[in-house]
Amino acid sequence: MTELEELQEIWNRPLAHIEKGDEEIAALLNLKGRSLVSRLRQSVWFELTVTGVASILLIAYLFTVQSAAMRSTIFSLITLFLIFIYVYTRKLWILRHFTKMNGSLHENIVHVMSRTRKYIRFFYGSYIILYPLFYCLTLSFVALETGWDYFKETFITPGFIADLVVFLGVYIIVAFWLTRWYLQRLFGDYLQQLNKILDDLGKLEEQPGHNNAEDNL
Amino acid sequence: MLDEKDFITLVRENQGIIHKICFLYEEDREARNDLFQDVVLQLWKSRKTFRGEAKATTWMYRVALNTAISGVRKKSRRPSLEYLDQRHDNLADVQPENREEKTRMLYEAIRTLAPVDKAMIMMALDELSYDEIASTIGITPNNVRVRMNRIRERLRKKLKTP
What's the DSSP call for residue A31?
Answer: S
Nearest chain A residue to B139 by CA distance is A205
Residues A40-96 have pLDDT tens digits of 899 999 999 999 999 999 999 999 988 887 888 888 889 989 999 999 999 999 998
Chain B closest-CA separation from residue A85 CA (Å) = 26
Among A13-17, A70-74, B44-48, B131-135, which is the least confidently predicted range? A13-17
pLDDT for position A188: 82
DSSP letter for each residue of A73-110: HHHHHHHHHHHHHHHHHHHHHHHHT---TTS-HHHHHH
- HEC states along chain B? CCCHHHHHHHHHHHHHHHHHHHHHHCCCHHHHHHHHHHHHHHHHHCHHHCCCCCCHHHHHHHHHHHHHHHCCCCCCCCCCCHHHHHHHHHHCCCCCHHHHHHHHHHHHHHHCCCHHHHHHHHHHHCCCCHHHHHHHHCCCHHHHHHHHHHHHHHHHHHHHCC
Chain A closest-CA separation from residue B1 CA (Å) = 15
Q: pTM value?
A: 0.80
Q: Is the pLDDT of residue A210 over 60?
A: no
Beta-carbon contacts of residue B69 (< 8 Å; ≥ 6 apart): A105, A109, A197, B25, B115, B116, B119
List CB contacts (< 8 A) between B136 and chain A: 104-105
Residues A134-184 have pLDDT tens digits of 888 888 888 877 887 888 887 778 888 888 889 888 988 898 898 889 888
CA distances from A10 to A74, B18, B82 (A): 69, 17, 18
